[in-house]
Structure 1
């Protein structure tokens, strides 16, 4: 059974039972997109929308914190996730290079054992920067709630997951301004024990949920935008969504959801 909920993760996750979930895999707002605070205060479309793309996305909330407040906020929601995870289970949090040090600090402040960083190689299709190194990578900060035994896989073949994931962003698979590729997430969710329930407290358009569904994992997703919840529900149910017309996202934090 999958559950998709609309609302603030800081209010919803505390209502979950303690030690009831098997993994947290999420892509929170980075509050990045610039070197200076003034850059970060721009709208998300100005920070992240590439010109000439076939889709248009509206702004999303929660992406304008400075470094200190972002780290404090991240520690809060990660602490909630720590409580609801079973002992030994993993957490994976996406980050860009600017927020990487703060993300690793918040992970440990919340109580997790920091176990490393994996790399998402966005390929040479990533935004060019002439005369400089291409901004081609984002990062997966990961850890666990205490010791992380290999036998948590319950007899399944022990998997050695890659430390670098190479996956291109395809427009026909993108329904959110910062959406991650489904094929990328299908590899990432395998950090969870087979059959375990995965929580994504910042679900967006549901790429993690879609990947979990394809790989046989129950999924719990949360997002502030009801429209995003609707998109995620349609994707997880296997419905075909338009890929050539503009997609406008709005924020509607009404407390509704789906059980699929």
Structure 2
């Protein structure tokens, strides 16, 4: 029996606990692919890393709308070391030839491409996510309207299966469940060449889980924060009962 809280919602299995600890209890080779949205630890490059995540990633008028999230206080060297640890453990869980996709912003893009290789994956490329002109402008500068998915494979991967776009354009949801919430449609597009079960080590508000539910893919999500774990459970239960889309 798992020592972590675990809930089953349809074909989704949700664990509350630290990703490294939970992944150590899962069966090697039991996942088809991994899609992950880890805490970037990037806002602290220009601000005090000990600040609340709402202070680093939200304008003052939006603070307090969403719960704070954990794991966002690492400097770049420790972020690389930590990322290499969880990526190596994730690779043990994903079947040979399976895919991994990891979200990053521009600050952490170079270190994320290093980390995927330190974890033993074959780095295959970078998929941009264009957040559209709805992203916040800054006078005298280019908009930071793009984030990225660094992707690779667990060893060799045959040229077979569905083809997915190499770029996605979706605006950030106006209504979200998480400070860093992303569109369900974006996750659905990224999951197109993947097969289940899907491993999501940093579940957040379970946007990847909702997309998996819509696509009929078995899903395993892990979340360390109790508040977001409960949000994820409620969100997946609602999506399961209605068969509809919920926001990021």
Count the aligned residue pairs: 231
SS in 2 for 1:150: coil
**Do the aligned residues in 2 keep the contact of 1:185 with 1:211 (CA within 8 Å)?**
yes
Cα shift at 1:229: 1.6
SS in 2 for 1:117: strand
- CA separation of 1:236 and 1:58: change in aligned 2, threshold 3 A: closer
**Do the aligned residues in 1 keep the contact of 2:67 with 2:227 (CA within 8 Å)?**
no
TM-score by length of 2: 0.88
Partner of 1:187: 189
TM-score by length of 1: 0.84
Cα shift at 1:40: 3.1
1:140 and 2:149 are equivalent in the alignment: yes
Partner of 1:4: 14
| Structure 1 unmatched ranges of 5 or more | 152-157, 244-260
The within-5 A match list for 1:49-198 is: 49-53=58-62, 56-151=65-160, 158-172=161-175, 174-193=176-195, 196-198=196-198
Cα shift at 1:54: 9.0
Cα shift at 1:50: 2.6
**Do the aligned residues in 1 keep the contact of 2:163 with 2:192 (CA within 8 Å)?**
no
C-alpha separation in 1, matches of 2:148 and 2:199 = 19
The within-5 A match list for 1:170-249 is: 170-172=173-175, 174-193=176-195, 196-238=196-238
Partner of 1:258: none
SS in 2 for 1:238: helix
Give the CA RMSD over aligned residues. Answer: 1.7
Task: Considering Cα pairs closer than 8 Å and 6+ residues apart, tell me whether 1 or 2 has the greater RCO.
Answer: 1
Cα shift at 1:49: 1.4
1:226-254 CA distances to partner (integer Å, 9 max, x unpaired)?
A: 221222122222258xx9xxxxxxxxxxx
Large movers: runs of 4+ above 2 Å: 38-42, 50-55, 237-240
Cα shift at 1:55: 6.5
Cα shift at 1:181: 1.0
